[in-house]
Amino acid sequence: MRKLSKRLGEPFSYIMIALGALMASFSVICILIPNDAIDYGTAGIAIIINKLSGLNLSVCVALVFTPFLILGTIILGKKFGIKAILGTVVYTVGLEVFKIVPFELNIEHFLAVAFGGAILGAGLSLILRHGGCIDGSEIFANIIVKKFYDMTGRNMSMTPILVGFNACVYIAVFIFINRNAALMSLLVYVVATSIINHFTDHYEAIKQVTIITKDADEIIACIKKDLNKTCTIMNSQGAIDGDNKMLICYISYFELAKMKEIISSHKGVFSTVSTIDEILR
């Protein structure tokens, strides 16, 4: 039953990533752009280039996303790369498909943008929860976090990186497009990230994984090999199982999928995941 669940889980995750990408592309084409707003992150950069140059939006998305997808695949792993590429391809195709959909939201711009931001956030939540990504800013932030840990051994949140990246995008919108578009786009960011944070439990924050097991050495070796992370080890006592080891490891949201694979490959393991806002040293 466990193996069957794992086999069905992978195809299901790809379906959810594709669905989330379609929701995101629908929101951008049918709601946000017609109401003088744009997406955030690298998708926002692609839309700015489209508006300034007149190039096809799907071409702009492909040009902007490709370097991040290549870096993400190299640094974050092949499995992540496949899911990110799937989401990006479906998102790009969706941008073209929804151009011919006769949909018009005839309500006040403010309400339309709030509604569009909610759909965008829901779509991105589906993608993130199933190990995918269609925004280069998240890949960029995760790479910086990973490199920072490799160099210093310290964990950091992606929040300041993502906020800084998107601040640059909205400043560009303010300068090169217009003030209204910048303010509307900022509203999209606030609504979408609120939805994403609700369904992913603050994906940009540090995640603490607590593992209780009798097979500590093998799990620690796998975490070191696959994630290049270390663990804090403590003795624990179970009412039924007796002596155990409790491992505590800090990772990013994008490393959760690999951590779940490591945990699921070992029997008799109990684990929890919690969100950490800050680690003091």
Contact between 258 and 277 (Cβ < 8 Å): no
Query: Alpha carbon of 239 to those of 14, 236, 243, 268, 273: distances in Å?
Result: 40, 10, 9, 15, 22
In this prediction, residue 1 carries a pLDDT of 46
Tokens of 140: 């960029």
Q: DSSP for 246-274, please give it.
A: EEEEEE-GGGHHHHHHHHHTSSS-EEEEE
In this prediction, residue 65 carries a pLDDT of 92
Query: Over its length of 281 residues, how does the chain's per-residue pLDDT go in tens digits?
Result: 445 455 666 788 899 999 999 999 999 999 999 988 888 889 999 999 999 998 999 999 999 999 988 888 887 778 888 888 999 999 999 999 999 888 777 778 888 889 999 999 999 999 988 888 888 888 888 888 888 887 887 878 888 888 899 999 999 999 998 888 898 999 999 999 999 988 888 888 889 999 998 888 899 999 998 888 888 899 887 777 778 889 999 988 888 888 888 898 888 888 999 988 777 66
Q: How many CA atoms lie within 13 A of 262 on its CB side?
A: 25
Contact between 228 and 259 (Cβ < 8 Å): no
217 and 97: one domain? Answer: no
Contact between 37 and 182 (Cβ < 8 Å): no
151 and 258: one domain? Answer: no
Query: Alpha carbon of 245 to those of 69, 102, 213, 226, 269: distances in Å?
Result: 38, 59, 5, 20, 10
When divided into structural domains, the chain yields a total of 2
Cα–Cα dist 189/78, whole Å = 29
Overall pTM > 0.95:
no
158 and 221: one domain? Answer: no
Domain that holds residue 254: 206-276
258 and 157: one domain? Answer: no
Alpha helices in 106-178 (DSSP H): 109-129, 136-152, 159-176
192 and 214: one domain? Answer: no
In this prediction, residue 208 carries a pLDDT of 92
Task: Judge whether 176 lies within some domain.
Answer: yes
151 and 233: one domain? Answer: no
Contact between 16 and 129 (Cβ < 8 Å): yes
38 and 121: one domain? Answer: yes
170 and 250: one domain? Answer: no
In this prediction, residue 25 carries a pLDDT of 94
Task: Judge whether 281 lies within some domain.
Answer: no
Contact between 37 and 184 (Cβ < 8 Å): yes
In this prediction, residue 214 carries a pLDDT of 86
Give residue-wise pLDDT tens across range 143-200: 888 888 878 878 788 888 888 999 999 999 999 988 888 989 999 999 999 999 888 8
Sheet of 242-251: strand order equals 232-238, 242-251, 206-213, 270-276
Task: Judge whether 27 lies within some domain.
Answer: yes
Q: In which residue are the tokens 């269609």 written?
A: 134
Cα–Cα dist 270/201, whole Å = 20
In degrees to the nearest 10, what's the CA dihedral of 168, 174, 179, 184? -40
83 and 104: one domain? Answer: yes
Question: At how many degrees (to 10) do helices 136-152 and 159-176 cross?
Answer: 140
